[in-house]
Amino acid sequence: MVDRGDDPDSFDERQLVERARTDADAFAEIYRRHVDAIHRFAFRRCGDRDLAEDVTAATFERALARLDRFRWRPGGIAPWLFRIAANELTDHHRRQGRRRGDRTRRAADRLQDSVTFDDLDRVDDADRVVLLREALDELNPRYQRALTLRHLSGLEHEEAARAMGVTPSLMAVLVHRATGSLRRTMRRLEEES
């Protein structure tokens, strides 16, 4: 469950984060509270259970190593964890993109403009979901993070903006531009085929 910051559990989580800076059991509780949401986010973005598990593990490893840098904000620790996970995914896709070649281009050629991020929950054709993920991989890393944090993480708009480290109005601009870039890239790839 994503902490929205306006419920009684928010105060409890804030205390838990403070304790986790020096208490491994407190960090373990943070892990238990957020591991499923981070794993779902990673899996929805990459479609690979093993990679999602790796990203989830790396997210919490980085969070533990950098907990001293975390500063409490409305929404709790969840947006910070999603940001770390989004960065881990972006790094992975950047490394994979260097190895991939024409496979992505052919897959993106087959992707239709009508697929939206909401379709990831409903689509029956697994190939279409894979194609959407591969097309998303072609975007610049900042656009990838903006779209995945806004549409795949379950975060509200303001929380996604905090996770990106930008204002809500800038987040709206980034999501708009990223969506346009995705459409243009797909049209270009269709024309090249």
Q: What is residue 132's predicted lDDT score, i.e. its pLDDT? A: 67
Inform me whether the pLDDT recorded for 189 exceeds 60. no
For 191, residues 6+ apart whose C-beta sits below 8 A from its C-beta are none
- Distance, in Å, from the CA atom of 145 to the CA atom of 82, rounded to the nearest integer, reads 10
Structural domain harbouring 133: 8-192
Give the pLDDT confidence of 64-84 residue by residue, as tens digits: 999 999 998 888 899 999 999
Structural domain contains residue 135: yes
- Mean pLDDT, range 116-139, rounded to an integer: 58
Residue 32 located in a structural domain: yes
* Long-range contacts, 144-147 (Cβ 8 Å, 24+): 144/86, 144/89, 144/90, 144/93, 144/178, 145/83, 145/86, 145/87, 145/90, 146/171, 146/174, 146/175, 146/178, 147/117, 147/175, 147/178, 147/179, 147/182
Question: Which of 174, 156, 172 lies closest to 75, judged by CA?
Answer: 156
Look-up of token digits 């990223």: 178
Q: Does some domain include residue 54?
A: yes
Residue 136 in contact with residue 181, Cβ under 8 Å? no
User: Considering the domain boundaries, does residue 104 fall inside one?
Assistant: yes
Task: Note whether residue 2 is domain-resident.
Answer: no
Q: How far apart are CA 86 and CA 37, in angstroms?
A: 13
Question: What angle, 0 to 180 degrees and rounded to 10, lies between the N-to-C axes of helices 78-100 and 24-46?
Answer: 40
- Identify which has the larger pLDDT, 162 or 97: 162
Token pair listed for 17 = 């984060």
In which band, very low, low, confident or very high, does the pLDDT at 1 lie, cut at 50, 70 and 90?
very low
- Of the listed ranges 50-59, 93-102, 122-131, 140-149, the least confidently predicted one is 122-131
Please state, as a whole number, how many other Cβ atoms lie within 10 Å of the Cβ of residue 122.
7
pTM: 0.59
pLDDT tens string 140-186: 888 888 888 888 777 888 888 888 888 888 888 888 888 888 777 76
Return the sign of the alpha-carbon dihedral for residues 12, 64, 171, 41.
negative
The one-character DSSP state at 68 is G
pLDDT at position 125: 54
Number of domains within the chain: 1
Does residue 3 lie within any of the structural domains? no
